[in-house]
A and B are shown apart, each in its own frame.
Chain A
């Protein structure tokens, strides 16, 4: 596709459930980032992939959050035992080759609501 896509666009779940959020980056982009944007706040970094490996997962809030990128393209952010505080918009971005000077291209986000 032409840009970064994320599915689903909206996800409503109940407290304690498991959710998966998908990101499809721009073709050929080796760097992939996940951010979380809470209401009224700027995006906050969660995790960075270079290829298949998570080079920096320092932003993951706790061990309920996990992300994978098994083939170096599509990434899935997984949240176990969801809590109401996990409600936010989850943003994915990609760039190439993954330098600090690169422009990151963002997807439209997945709005997660935990009831």
Chain B
């Protein structure tokens, strides 16, 4: 069984500062990794995903994440945040092949609040 742990439930940061949102996962098999963002009163939107290849993945809105297999982590980073990045961020995994059918296992979410 897979599980995802987001280590911080809330992250406050000032505008233009860098930010890192942490995600660790556990799985007995290889996984695909995703970061989704949820703005207030909107649906979840994909930021980026890691399937294979380069461990550094770039996504929308200037976000990037690095897959670290040895540490089973997939931390999300942005070098300079904006007020508009205030939202809740979810890390998720899916299992290639088998009978998972792409169902996602999500972490508990991290609320990023950017202050002026």
Interface residues of A (CB under 8 A from B): 3-4, 31, 33, 35, 40-45, 48, 50, 55-56, 59, 91, 93, 95, 98-109
B92 CB contacts on chain A under 8 angstroms: 42
A44 touches B106 (CB 8 A): yes
Distance in Å: Cβ of A94 to nearest Cβ of chain B: 11
B105 touches A45 (CB 8 A): yes
A56 touches B103 (CB 8 A): yes
B12-20, B40-48, B62-70, B71-79: which one contacts chain A? B40-48
Assess A42 versus B107: contact at CB under 8 Å? Given A3-B43, A4-B43, A102-B102.
yes
Residue on A nearest B96 in the bound complex, by CB: A100
Q: How many residues of B sit at the interface, in one of the four size bands?
A: 20 to 34
Give the interface SS of chain B, mostly helix, strand, loop or mixed. loop
B102 touches A31 (CB 8 A): yes
Residue on A nearest B52 in the bound complex, by CB: A101
A55–B101 CA distance with the chains assembled, in angstroms: 8
B90 touches A100 (CB 8 A): no
A56–B101 CA distance with the chains assembled, in angstroms: 8
- Given A4-B43, A56-B100, A56-B103, 13 additional A-B pairs, CB 8 A: A33-B103, A40-B108, A40-B109, A42-B6, A42-B90, A42-B106, A43-B90, A50-B101, A91-B44, A100-B96, A104-B46, A108-B42, A108-B43
A100 touches B43 (CB 8 A): no
A48–B45 CA distance with the chains assembled, in angstroms: 19
- Decide yes or no whether B94 CB sits under 8 A from chain A: yes
Distance in Å: Cβ of A42 to nearest Cβ of chain B: 3
